[in-house]
Structure 1
Amino acid sequence: MPRNLNALWSFGAFLIVTIGFLIASGLFLAINYTPDIAQAFASVEAIDRQVPSGWFLRSLHMGGVTMLFACLYIHLGRGLWYGSYKAPRELLWLTGLGLMLMVMITAFAGYVLPWGQMSYWGATVIVNAMRAVPLFGRPVSELLLGGEGLGNIALHRLFVLHFAMAFAILGAIGVHVATLHVVKSNNPSGIDPATPRQTLPFHPYYTSRDAFALCLFLMVYAGLVFFLPDLLTLADNYVQANPLVTPRDIRPEWYFAPFYAILRAVPSRLSGLFLACGSLAVLFVLPALDRSPVRPATLRPLVRLSLPLAFLSFILLGIAGMHPPTETWLIVSRFAMAWWFIHFLVVMPLASEREITS
């Protein structure tokens, strides 16, 4: 391993540990869960109130999702800042992004399973947006849901999807880690070690450091599970889903809020869905957009100014997505969304052409 790795490289280990907690707790939750619209909410309540340590397993699962996405976004941000998407690590970058999409799909399917009021209506918003896609939007949504709307068939299929995707994610992690072992890890300087003297063995140097960092991470995780469980879900999700009563303010979980803010920032559902998907798609084509051989943003004056603003835009989109769509928050969403796309589609190609690299 390179000698100069900093603490941000520990978040990959956090992600693997969190996935382990999620799968282990999810297996026990699945034993007591009933994927039926008449019994799903009651089965979740029974897990919380009647199953021995059920409250702990459910809090561990919900807290794990929060910690997973927090670490995932930091891990992604580290890759953007240090140019980990550049040659020879393009495949590593793409497998990581594919893994992130799998996690998002799994989280969305799991979000519907408690059959709470916010789960039902949040999923309804996404399904209606999906149907606006020409040609294949409606057939795909009907294949997923088994009909026109959310019902027994949809809930059962989402449960199977959530369960199966968890194990598919394990396979994708294996591919991602195998790719990492082929191309080796990037480092803050952006210059790959040329001699063995510029490296350190992973054990004991980085295993001990990651173990210490993991202890701190688990302290935060435990604090979230035991002392702040109300932060893990929205209050409306403790009310059973009612298709006849629309919540006054439909909000997603925080980790989907940036994309939800983009979805509603434009009047057209199709345009909003296109832009929300495009905000992720630009990350897939980033290796082609940024041709500069210089990797870290610290050595690139234009990127060093623009990328923090892109990070701030993502945070503002998340905050906007958790608030009602008032005129102020819609304006904030539009400006933040505009800069996100400007950074990747304008600044990055421009910086690649204008930078002095020799």
Structure 2
Amino acid sequence: MLMTVQDFETAARRRLDPVHADFIAGGAGDEITVRANEEAFRRLRLLPRVLRGSAERSLDITVLGGRARTPVLLSPTAFHKLLDEEGELATARAAAAVGAIMIVSMASTVAVEDIAEATRGAGETADPAPLWFQLYLQPDLEFTRTLVRRATDAGCGALVVTVDSPVRGAHERDLRNGFLDLPDGLRCEHMAEPGEGGRVRPIAMSPEISWQHIDWLRGITSLPILLKGALHPEDARLAVRHGVDGLLLSNHGGRQLDTVPATIELLPEIHAAVAGRIPIVLDGGVRRGTDVVKALALGASAVGIGRPVMWALAEGGEKGVRRLLELLREEVDHALALCGASGVRDLTPDLVRAPVWPDTGAYATRPGGAVS
């Protein structure tokens, strides 16, 4: 019986080609950051309130005008058809069914237009949670403009611009396994030229990417823009100055620069830097409903999950992803009840404690509730 995210991973590994399992699990370098993302959540402690009971709890959120029935959204992940023949169509239908925001990867094996069509009527309400579109700014700006137009025309509610990848991360597992490209029959649909059998462009990393490119993008679209991968507080402040609408606080799941801090460790400082002017979505290491509650209490408006979605898709297709999202929603609701919260809006930093030193039994907060 699948009862935890770990259960989905264990089950998926039994089904998957080990090369593809390594692609999902692996990160950059020694994978220090991959491990740190989960370990940092484990070090945090929840300090609940009592006698504030509520018969029901609200998990609904609104981020950048997009309404969702769960604070857990689907971070962008590539190549879903490696894991299930329906690929991103299955993932999108599962997300729509539970009212979760899905961020469509630029490296999707299904086109955003088809994904948007698959979500219509798939949810329990007439208006499913919105799709967002993840974008790597390409050196060919006209091609980038075309991608933005496609995402807009498909009805996406926001652009999530990945900014932590001027070059590709060194994924040593993939290099050892010789996993350097998609197998025959699969392709990145957003990089394909129009027409049957059209050339598929490689996704180009751009070492020259700068704030000028963000300004250019801001000038060609009215969609909200979130930056994915800005980790330094000064970059968060610059994002606000450049008219960015939100941050996806992410270290790429440890797949870019190894040894960067866990995102949950950075959240209080980033939250202070933006001072409530723009929302923060956090991903990296979220594996339990208690992780979600910790992140929301420390200032995140929502959290994203990546690898868990891939494991669930590999294990059970659309039903697997839906069960995973329902499971996390149930865990969040349970944790809220035990914390004395009637909904996600009741969560505050004083509910979270962090160790003063990593190996001591003492836990503390900084003034104002930010974890120390």
- The TM-score range, normalised by the shorter chain, is under 0.3
CA radius of gyration, larger in: 1
Question: TM-score normalised to the size of structure 2?
Answer: 0.23
The structure with the greater share of residues assigned to strand is 2
The structure with the greater share of residues assigned to helix is 1
Q: Greater relative contact order: 1 or 2 (C-alpha under 8 angstroms, separation 6 or more)?
A: 2
